[in-house]
Each structure stands twice: as C-alpha cells, then as structure tokens.
Amino acid sequence: MIFSEKFLEDLKNDPLHGMIILINVARENLTKNTAEWTEQDYQVLLEAYALITEIIESKLLDITPPNFAISGNRDQDCKLTFAYLNSQEEYCIAESSKLKITSLRSHFRTALSSGFSYEFSQGDLERVQLLINQIRELISQTVSLEKDHQRRLLSRLEKLQSEMHKKVSDLDRFWGLIGDAGVVLGKLGTDAKPIVDRIKEIADIVWQTQSRAEELPSGTSVPLLANKSAADSGMD
C-alpha cells in the first residue's frame, strides 16, 4: 500500500491538504507512461480511488464523487481515475488557496490594527487546534446527524481553524460553538457528549483568554455555562 497509517492520521486532521498530497503521491507512483497503463499503475489508482471514496463517504471533504465505477477494465479504469484525480486536484488547490487567503487576511488585520485584540498562549492555541480536529472527526463519524447538518458544522469548524492565530480581533466564531453544542445536544442527546465535552473545553480556554484580556478577576466562571450547569447535567 502506498498510503501509510501516518498519512491517514494526518489526512483526518487536514483533509483538504491531505487530498492534494494523496493525488501527488498517487501520481509519483505511476510509471509515467499514461499511454500504456501497467498493472502497477492499476493498483496505485485503485488504492487512490478506494481512499477518495472513503473520504467522501466519511464526509471529511465535500467534493464531487467519481461519476464512474471500477469496471475491471484496466485501461478504462486507469484513464478515468487519472482524469478524476487531475480534476479534483485543481478544485482542492483552489479551495486551499481560499482558506489560506482568509487565514492570512485575518492575521494581517489583527497585526495591523491598533485596536484591542485577544491573545492565546501557544499551549492554548495548540490545544484548541487539537480539540477542533477531534470534533471534526467525531462529527464525520456520527451517522445519526443529517448530511447537511454535518456539512455545515464541518465547514464552520474548517473556517474557524483557518482563522486561528495567537492574536485575534474577536472571539465571535468561538462563542458560536456554544450554540452548535446546544443544537447537537438537542439532536443527539447523550450521544453528543464527546462532542459537547470538547466544545466546553474550547469555551473554557476562550473564556480564560477573554478574562485575561479584559482584566476580570481570576477564577470567574463562563457565564453561559455556569448559569446552566445545574439544569443541563447532560453537558457535564
């Protein structure tokens, strides 16, 4: 197999970038003669096809699925799969560039602004990134969530992650996660606990960052969570 377990783990954490690498790895393992497909080419492209199909089925990426099925005809399967990889590479590079621009603009906007900003510690920044990755994976694996709702949540998390820097001008996107937690809890009940627990941990980190920036007394509780902690025991 050309795709290692380490690669698959990295792919879950950053599916868009992982998809671009997947295509490049597949291409590098071909015999370079697309006029005459070899058995090696066929095995490489079959593996890429199978992995991409699972990426789509797992909802890690909202990309166009292949509009053909593997037929067993080597030349035909290789030709169609190779063309599909090329088309998806263009799309993924374009989407990755959009996210990069969004991230850079957010970073430069805060850096150039003379106004107020919030600053995460490096440890908190890394922890929030890890928690977001875990939430994305949990949402992708939750079959009881409607596909449209899954897609919206994953898109929101992807945007949030792309705008994460040590300094940010506002925390609105983070606090939006509290609303998401309520919706997920309402739809899934106790099954939502792993997702909600991680959102609560992010909220705690964000609140500590906000409290520090606004010079609130140490130990001040998160208002939105403290007021409901007794009633909403399912989120404890």
Q: Does residue 106 form part of some domain? A: no
Q: pLDDT at position 8, please?
A: 87
Within this chain, do residues 124 and 190 fall inside the same structural domain, yes or no? yes
> Could you report the per-residue pLDDT of 63-106, keeping only the tens digit for each?
888 999 999 999 999 999 999 999 999 888 888 888 888 778 77
Within this chain, do residues 125 and 65 fall inside the same structural domain, yes or no? no
Output the DSSP codes for 138-205.
HHHH-TTS-HHHHHHHHHHHHHHHHT--SEES--HHHHHHHHHHHHHHHHHGGGGHHHHHHHHHHHHH
In terms of residue numbers, what domain contains 40?
Answer: 5-94
The pLDDT-based confidence of 224 (bands split at 50, 70, 90) is: low
Within this chain, do residues 33 and 118 fall inside the same structural domain, yes or no? no
> Could you report the per-residue pLDDT of 156-192, keeping only the tens digit for each?
888 787 777 777 777 777 877 777 777 777 777 777 8
- What pTM does this model have? 0.51
Within this chain, do residues 118 and 178 fall inside the same structural domain, yes or no? yes
User: Mean pLDDT, the chain, as a whole number?
Assistant: 81
Dist. CA 76–CA 196, nearest whole Å:
47
The pLDDT-based confidence of 116 (bands split at 50, 70, 90) is: low
Last-in-domain residue among 33, 64, 94: 94
Q: What are the structure tokens assigned to 100, written together? A: 């990069």
Within this chain, do residues 118 and 230 fall inside the same structural domain, yes or no? yes
Within this chain, do residues 155 and 214 fall inside the same structural domain, yes or no? yes
Cα→Cα distances 45→24, 28, 101, 150, 224, Å: 12, 11, 32, 29, 50
| Tokens 């208002």 found at | 223
Within this chain, do residues 88 and 120 fall inside the same structural domain, yes or no? no
Q: Does residue 99 form part of some domain? A: no
Within this chain, do residues 38 and 120 fall inside the same structural domain, yes or no? no
* Cα 51 off chain centre by: 17
Within this chain, do residues 181 and 80 fall inside the same structural domain, yes or no? no
Tell whether the model's pLDDT for residue 196 goes beyond 90.
no
Last-in-domain residue among 94, 124, 141: 94
The pLDDT-based confidence of 41 (bands split at 50, 70, 90) is: very high
Within this chain, do residues 84 and 162 fall inside the same structural domain, yes or no? no
> Could you report the per-residue pLDDT of 3-36, keeping only the tens digit for each?
988 888 888 878 888 899 999 999 999 987 777 8
The pLDDT-based confidence of 222 (bands split at 50, 70, 90) is: low
Q: Does residue 108 form part of some domain? A: no
Q: Does residue 16 form part of some domain? A: yes
Within this chain, do residues 90 and 147 fall inside the same structural domain, yes or no? no
Residue 12: partners with Cβ closer than 8 Å, 6 or more residues away: 18, 60, 133, 136, 137
Q: What are the structure tokens assigned to 48, written together? A: 């890429």
Q: Does residue 104 form part of some domain? A: no
Dist. CA 186–CA 93, nearest whole Å:
36
**What's the total number of domains in the chain?**
2
Q: pLDDT at position 100, please?
A: 81
Within this chain, do residues 49 and 82 fall inside the same structural domain, yes or no? yes
Residue 85: partners with Cβ closer than 8 Å, 6 or more residues away: 23, 26, 27, 45, 48
Dist. CA 144–CA 55, nearest whole Å:
18
Q: Does residue 218 form part of some domain? A: yes
Higher pLDDT, residue 184 or 2 = 2
Last-in-domain residue among 63, 94, 125: 94
Q: Does residue 100 form part of some domain? A: no
